[in-house]
Amino acid sequence: MTRVFVIGTALFLCACAPTVSEQKGSDLQASCEALVSAETGVASGNVQATSTQSEATGTVVSVSVAGAEAPWICRADVTGVITDVEYSQEG
């Protein structure tokens, strides 16, 4: 009975814990939100990562900013280092 409980508990804990990839994505989104907030001067509560896409060269995070007509784009290399933050609309 003890073995069943231990195995069941271990499986439950494994299913709930975020994967390394999810944790890195979450950290990257938070970093992008902070950089876009600083770049735009908009309070962090009005800046939110809306999507994350993995590419061969790294990751692209789209960030919504209150009052902006288009999203901001945050790019990171394959190691997770942010290399670029820019507004996606010209002008």
pLDDT tens digits for 9-63? Answer: 343 444 444 444 555 679 999 999 999 999 999 999 999 999 999 999 999 999 9
Q: How far is Cα 49 from Cα 1, in angstroms, rounded to an integer?
A: 46
Q: What is the pLDDT of residue 32?
A: 97
In 10 A of CB 49, how many CB atoms? 21
What 3-state DSSP class applies to 56? coil
Helix runs in 17-91, H state only: 20-40
Q: What is the pLDDT of residue 67?
A: 96
pTM as predicted:
0.74
Give the bridge partners for 87, in sequence order.
Answer: 72
pLDDT of residue 87 exceeding 80, the answer is yes
What phi, psi does 89 have (nearest 5°)?
-115, 135
Residue 82: pLDDT band (50, 70, 90) is very high
